[in-house]
Amino acid sequence: MYYNYKDLLEETRNKEFSFESLETADSYELFWLPEIDPYKKLEHKWGTPINPEELYYYDHDFEEACENIVKASVHNLRITFKNYYFDEELIEQWQKEAEKEETNISLGL
């Protein structure tokens, strides 16, 4: 599933995402971006069925979707995430970029 930055900014319900990767039996890496229902307060566990729409086959597409989520979470407190894949430095970089974008917007740049 593709998460659009603009749509995430306008989201009115709470959404929580998890950034993860899986390895297949033949050592192929898949990227998993499950949306967790924050009202159920349940963590997904091993053996939980995987929704194919939550899988990404290309790291670039996965990274772009996660970047949109991180940046949207800076401006929309209803969007949250758990990071199990990326370096924290990259997450912080995305957050700083989102803060800078907000500053530029407010300055009319």
Residue pair 68/17 in contact by the 8 Å Cβ criterion: no
- pTM value is 0.84
Q: Which two tokens stand for residue 83?
A: 């990071």
**How far apart are the C-alpha atoms of 75 and 97, rounded to whole Å?**
12
Give the pLDDT of residue 29: 96
Dihedral sign, Cα of residue 51, residue 53, residue 57, residue 58: negative
- The model's confidence at residue 43, banded by pLDDT at 50, 70 and 90, is low
How many independent structural domains does the chain possess?
1
Domain that holds residue 97: 5-107
Q: Is the pLDDT of residue 107 over 80?
A: no
> pLDDT tens across 52-93, in order?
999 999 999 999 999 999 999 999 999 999 999 999 999 999
Residue pair 18/79 in contact by the 8 Å Cβ criterion: no
Give the pLDDT of residue 44: 56
Residue pair 74/91 in contact by the 8 Å Cβ criterion: no
